[in-house]
Copies of this chain bind each other. A is one copy, B any other.
Amino acid sequence: VTGSESPLTYRDAGVDVDAADRFVAAIAPLVRATHTEGVVGHPSRFAGLIRADVGGMGDPLIAATCDGVGTKVLLARSEGDFEALGRDLVAMNVNDLLPVGARPILFLDYLAVGRLDSERLVQVVRGAAAACREAGCALLGGETAEMPDLYRPGEFDLAGFAVGVVDGERLPDPASAGPGDAVVALSSTGVHANGLSLARRALFERAGFELDDVIPVLDATLGATLLTPTAIYVDDALGLMDAVAVKAAAHVTGGGLLGRAGAMLSGGLTVRIDPDTYARPPIFDLIASAGDVGDDEMAATFNMGLGFLGVVSAGDAAAAEEMGWLHVGEVVTGEPRVDLGYARR
């Protein structure tokens, strides 16, 4: 069948197993530095093992979530950019554990690449490992898939998975919220990792900006602004939950501030957010202007400057503010929609 052609190898097929081994060796110390006390070693390398600290919990539950960073990967060019993406990947996942009050214990990454560019991927893992340390979770494993026929050279995708633990007796209970409760929030660092497809269309295709353009109102390049990693809210969110009763919470991701705030409560309750209570990062108005994007579309796509929301009793709002939270609005009765009060400025 094969005629005079040379024997085919896995490497001929675009998969460099030796490069993969070198990559694994390069990231090993980064990964080990994230290993918390609970991590259990085992010579079998198929799965990571960790002993969850659930002492004192009346009803220990496991929380699990999965997320990627979307088309934000298309913006990365420098080493620092790739490190930022790794940090984003962890942040997007561990933050998703917080609305139920779960403390992150482990994270796994899935790196899909066309060709294994070890330097870039090591930067991704470096950023992920640093973020895991900040979030207090172990980077317990992951998968790096080299798929030359699925991804073009230089193309790649990132997905992550996080697991946390929470006491089932202490889950936030949105049904306990009522009119007059306070809505508190944590600032976002920018667009985080949602809405990038729309942002790129508006800024680069419609308005003709380039990544290296320095935008005066941003006081930075567009690339640096868009690639600012997602904030990690673990300490702030769990700290507030330890201090006061948080009735509902939301990580402001897909669906934007409108979608996530709108889904936080039910039963005829909604939230009203006063846009004058916080400084909206200028990148959002730049995107809106560049793409002539409507207010509702902006609010249904982007976090608009608020990355995490919580609902607490009005009497607890001051305590939240002392802990660094913004008091941005209140719970009101009404149709389950959100009036963000945005007028184009």
- Which of A183-191, A222-230, A274-282, A286-294 has 4 or more CB atoms under 8 Å from chain B? A286-294
Within 8 A of B (CB), among A46-72: 46-52, 59-68, 70-71
Question: Which residues on the B side are within 8 Å of A17 (C-beta)?
Answer: 255, 300
Contact A248 B65 (CB under 8 A): no
A106 at the interface (CB under 8 A from B): yes
Minimum distance in angstroms from A30 CB to a CB of chain B: 17
A102 at the interface (CB under 8 A from B): yes
Minimum distance in angstroms from A114 CB to a CB of chain B: 11
Question: Which residues on the B side are within 8 Å of A145 (C-beta)?
Answer: 68, 70, 159
Question: On chain A, which size bracket covers the interface?
Answer: 35 or more
Assuming the contacts A68-B110, A70-B145, A198-B13, asked whether A45 and B7 have C-beta atoms less than 8 A apart, the reply is no
A14 at the interface (CB under 8 A from B): yes
Question: Which residues on the B side are within 8 Å of A65 (C-beta)?
Answer: 46-48, 108, 141
- Name the one of B8, B66, B71 contacting A149, with C-beta atoms under 8 angstroms: B71
- Name the one of B42, B43, B106, B195 contacting A62, with C-beta atoms under 8 angstroms: B106
- Name the one of B48, B60, B202 contacting A8, with C-beta atoms under 8 angstroms: B202
- Which of A118-126, A128-136, A166-174, A335-343 has 4 or more CB atoms under 8 Å from chain B? A166-174
Contact A142 B66 (CB under 8 A): yes
Minimum distance in angstroms from A58 CB to a CB of chain B: 12
Question: Which residues on the B side are within 8 Å of A140 (C-beta)?
Answer: 64
Question: Which residues on the B side are within 8 Å of A46 (C-beta)?
Answer: 65, 96-100, 250-251, 253
Within 8 A of B (CB), among A164-218: 164, 166, 168, 171-172, 174, 195, 197-198, 200-202, 206-207
Contact A68 B143 (CB under 8 A): yes
Minimum distance in angstroms from A140 CB to a CB of chain B: 6
Assuming the contacts A64-B141, A149-B71, asked whether A10 and B197 have C-beta atoms less than 8 A apart, the reply is yes
Assuming the contacts A43-B266, A49-B62, A163-B163, asked whether A292 and B112 have C-beta atoms less than 8 A apart, the reply is no
Q: Tell me the complex Cα distance, A314–B105, Å.
A: 40
Contact A52 B42 (CB under 8 A): no
Within 8 A of B (CB), among A62-106: 62-68, 70-71, 73-74, 96-100, 102, 105-106
A242 at the interface (CB under 8 A from B): no
